[in-house]
Structure 1
Amino acid sequence: MAIWKKALFPFQILFAGAVVLRKKLYATGVISRYVATIPTIVVGNLATGGTGKTPMVDFLLRYFSQKKELGVLSRGYGRKSKGFLAVRSTAPSSDVGDEPLMLAQKHPNVFVAVCESRPKGIVKMLAQKPSLEAIFLDDAFQHLALQPTFKILLTTYTRPWFSDALLPVGNLREPATAAQQADVVIVTKCPTSLDEETKNAYKAKLGIAPHQKLFFTNLEYGTHVRGAAEIPLDEFIKTPFVLLTGIANPSPLVEFLKRQGAEFTHLSYPDHHDFSKKEIASIKAMQQPILTTEKDAVRLATYTLAQCHTIEIGVGFLDKEGAFLELVQSAIEN
């Protein structure tokens, strides 16, 4: 183990103590928890980011938003505003956050909102739209002020929580034992084919409890890119281009494009990156077509980038998709 990680152990102990104390205060009722009047479904993780929460929410909205009046509540990470805001599709990403804005643009019939306090956000959403039948919460597994109806917990195939450690030594926000609170566990970003032996090994290492269901998903990429026009991906990649990303882990997208035989220059920025005018000028100077993600595109919308195209990143279940959807539907109709 690296020396710098060993130096962080005292801070990890302090962090663990704070997490345990906070949980105990809620568990014993010293601090009360809010229970909404409609079903609330949390999509969260134990790690600090990059497990695919927003693509999972997007997947769920695709399936259920035509059947139910749904809402989505997020903190709105990276936004410059405070408090509760209903997300309009024309809002600046700096006001509402890139992921909520992306969801609002893709699902115009869904009420998307942002608020640091999930209970306050839910109360305001119901006041503005009493007809809501259920609310999905993007990243609220650690938000103990809310007692949700159903919890979906994500972990990545390449860095599952059993291979991680608590902050600040690792990336876990709370001990792995907290996973026992989930109703469903999903291993995301898996290889396309995964044998039963590997699945069973993950089930054992993750410590899946009898009351929990385990699923495995991979990333699916759009067959077309969208810009001024929609172009088949295999046509677009015939010309060298710039891949522009500001997401937690662009490696799967990079590897996918390489497998397609694409020739590109990758400009990688941190997750939720706020592009500067200087960076945009540098990108324009490259004078090549640009490919970016839908999430990045909402942050780039204020700039005029010629030949800018987006590729959709979605979720695909390796198997048992129907069983997963039945569980969520049961929670919505609770």
Structure 2
Amino acid sequence: MKQTITFLPSLLFGLITWVRNKLFDWGILPSRSFEKPRIIVVGNLAVGGTGKSPLVAYLVKNWRGGDRLGILSRGYGRKTKGYIEVNGQSSAEEVGDEPLAYKSLFPELPVAVCEKRTEGVEKMPEVDVLLLDDAFQHRSLKSSLNLVCSTFEKPFYQDTLLPHGRLRESAKGIERADAVIVTRCPSILTKEQKSNFAQGVLRNSKEEKPIFYTSVRYAKPVGPREHLPSKWALFAGIADPKPFFTYASSLGQIQEEVIYGDHHRFTEVELLELEQQAKTMAGDEGFLTTHKDFVRLQSHLSQLPNLGNHLYYLPMEMYFIDQEEQFWDWLGKN
């Protein structure tokens, strides 16, 4: 019944996005390019949870050469509007959780938010390379490169349009990608698995695309004490919390798992409930969450001392399963 209800709206959504893309393709809707900085878009075709943020962080951490880098994001979930530069005193309510997470990882890097990306590019501090987080559908700006993320488990070519599925536009949109970054892959991929994915991309594109396969790894939890708790209460407000919960289960006894919506904004009642729960925790107990959830809570912790004394987050980073040097060679040539 649900599929029947969502099927017709997805057809209408597909028509609207097709017309919009054609208007840009035909030059009826303007698309602005910038001679400087070099603009690299990190985006996707599906909503949420495709690994864009880990890719942006990887690029910054491993960038080759002396280019000055910057990050521009929409700042999803913020209560503000317009162009804002992220600083150490910013809150998730002001700039969104992802930009705040970038700033905490790279304090010296210019990070800004602006829903109008062309305006954001104009106002950014001077940089050589600007990484645009989640701007693949923002076609009023013409990028130097488009890196499109798709998870290995839920590839874009097996998905359908919103609201029937998770796609923001037709799978044919992959034609605008310069490279496809496959995220959250198993640590070992067979030639057959890679070939199947490449065929899925080719079915929706007029030409072959460079495809690079990546996964994620976790580091030691970060929190108020070096000696980690052995019992954990887990919570996460991200698009796909399954990998987080799976890995966290290896860190000790799991007493609780709570899932919030993506980019969840904690209410005053929820914060007080977490504080009260933390107050009853023993020394070997703690909360464990994701980095994005932690930065959303960080500005409240001065008023929540018990939560602050028991709250840890799990760092995560992306890595290439293979062909890492080929990726950097390709990026340097394009």
- 1:21-66 per-residue CA deviation (whole Å, 9 max, x = no partner) reads 1112111111211101221000000001100101110010101288
- Partner Cα separation in structure 2 for residue 209 and residue 105 of structure 1: 40
* CA distance in 2 between partners of 1:182 and 1:10 (Å): 28
Deviations 1:162-218 (A, max 9, x none): 221011111100000110111110111111222111111111122266452111111
- Name the amino acid aligned to 1:45: N
Seen in structure 2, the aligned counterparts of structure 1 residues 92 and 169 have a Cα distance that, compared at 3 Å, is: same
Is the aligned partner of 1:297 residue 2:294?
yes
* 2:39–2:129 Cα contact (<8 Å) kept: yes
- TM-score w.r.t. the length of structure 1 is 0.91
> Equivalent residue for 2:181?
186
Task: Kindly indicate whether the alpha-carbon contact (under 8 Å) linking 1:40 and 1:134 is maintained by their aligned counterparts in 2.
Answer: yes
Q: Determine the structure 2 residue equivalent to 1:116.
A: 115
5+ residue gaps, structure 2 = none
Kept in 1, the 8 Å contact 2:232–2:252? The answer is no
Distance in 1 between residues matched to 2:330 and 2:102, nearest whole Å: 22
- Residue in structure 1 matching 2:33, options 24, 32, 35: 35
Provide closer, same or farther for how the CA distance between residues 329 and 307 of structure 1 changes in structure 2, counting only shifts above 3 A: farther
Task: Confirm or deny: 8 A CA contact 2:179 2:211 kept in the other structure.
Answer: yes
1:104 aligns with 2:103: yes
What's 1:226 paired with?
A: 222
Given that 1:166 and 1:173 are in contact with CA atoms closer than 8 Å, whether structure 2 keeps it comes out as: yes
- Structure 1 consecutive aligned stretches of length 4 or more whose deviation exceeds 3 Å: 208-211, 259-262
Contact 2:231 2:252 in 1 (8 A): no
C-alpha separation between the residues in 1 aligned to 2:132 and 2:40?
Answer: 6
1:323 to 291, 302, 326: 326
- Aligned pair count reads 319
Q: Secondary structure at the match of 1:263?
A: strand
Identity %: 35
Q: Which ranges of structure 1 fall in alignment gaps of 5 or more residues?
A: none
Change (3 A) 1:310 1:329: farther
In 2, the alpha carbon distance for the partners of 1:98 and 1:278 equals 20
Q: Which residue of 2 aligns with 1:258?
A: 249
**Partner amino acid, structure 2, of 1:89:** G
TM-score (norm. length: structure 2): 0.91
Measured in 2, the distance between the counterparts of 1:230 and 1:321 equals 33
Separation in structure 2 between the aligned mates of residue 204 and residue 257 of structure 1, nearest angstrom? 34
The more displaced of 283-292 and 16-25 is 283-292
Does the alignment pair 1:196 with 2:172?
Answer: no
8 Å contact 1:87–1:112 — kept in the other structure?
yes
For 2:332, give the aligned amino acid: Q
Deviations 1:130-188 (A, max 9, x none): 3x101000000000101100010011111111221011111100000110111110111
Alpha-carbon displacement from aligned partner over 1:61-103 (angstroms, at most 9, x marks no partner): 1012883211111000000000111111220110000000110
Partner SS, residue 60 of structure 1: helix
Query: Counterpart of 2:152?
Result: 157
Structure 1: distance between partners of 2:192 and 2:243: 23
> Which residue number corresponds to residue 68 of structure 1?
67
Q: Name the structure 2 match of 1:94.
A: 93
- The Cα shift of 1:257 comes to 2.3
Following superposition, the deviation at residue 261 of structure 1 comes to 5.2
Of 2, 5, 8 in structure 1, the residue corresponding to residue 6 of structure 2 is 8
The answer as to whether partners of 1:65 and 1:109 remain within 8 angstroms in 2 is no
CA offsets 1:254-281 (integer angstroms, 9 cap, x no match): 1122245543411211111111122122
Q: Say which SS state the counterpart of residue 166 (structure 2) adopts.
A: coil
CA distance in structure 2 between the partners assigned to 1:325 and 1:175 by the alignment: 29
- Please give the alpha-carbon distance, in whole angstroms, between the structure 2 residues aligned to 1:309 and 1:23: 43
DSSP 3-state at the match of 1:153? strand
Q: What SS is found at the alignment partner of 1:225?
A: coil
Q: 1:245: how far off?
A: 0.9
Q: Secondary structure of 1:315's partner? A: strand
Q: Which moved more, 1:65-74 or 1:288-297?
A: 65-74
Structure 2 SS opposite 1:8 = helix
